[in-house]
C-alpha cells in the first residue's frame, strides 16, 4: 500500500492539470444542467487540486521529517 501522501499528491496533480476538462452538473428536480468548467476557467478545480497537493506535501513532511 502506498504511503498516505501519494494519493493526495497524485489526485491533486490530475485534478489541477485537467481542471478545464471537468464536467460539472447541477440538478434541479427533473432538470439537469451540465457544463464544462472551461467556461469558468476551471478555477474551483484548480484550487481543489492545489489544496490536495498541499495536503500531500504536509503528509510527506510529517512522515519523513518528523519521524
As a three-state string, the secondary structure of the chain is CCCCCHHHHHHHHHHHHCHHHCEEEEEECCEEEEEEHHHCCCHHHHHHHHHHHHHHHHHHHHHHCCC
* pLDDT value for 1: 46
* pLDDT value for 16: 85
**C-alpha dihedral sign at 60, 61, 62, 63:** positive
Dump pLDDT digits (tens) for 2-60.
678 888 999 899 888 887 776 666 666 676 666 665 566 677 778 888 999 999 999 88
Amino acid at each position: 500500500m502506498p504511503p498516505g501522501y501519494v494519493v493526495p499528491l497524485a489526485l491533486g496533480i490530475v485534478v489541477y492539470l485537467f481542471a478545464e476538462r471537468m464536467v460539472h452538473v447541477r440538478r434541479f428536480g427533473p432538470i439537469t444542467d451540465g457544463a464544462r468548467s472551461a467556461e469558468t476557467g476551471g478555477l474551483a478545480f484548480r484550487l481543489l487540486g492545489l489544496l490536495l497537493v498541499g495536503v500531500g506535501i504536509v503528509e510527506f513532511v510529517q512522515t519523513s521529517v518528523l519521524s
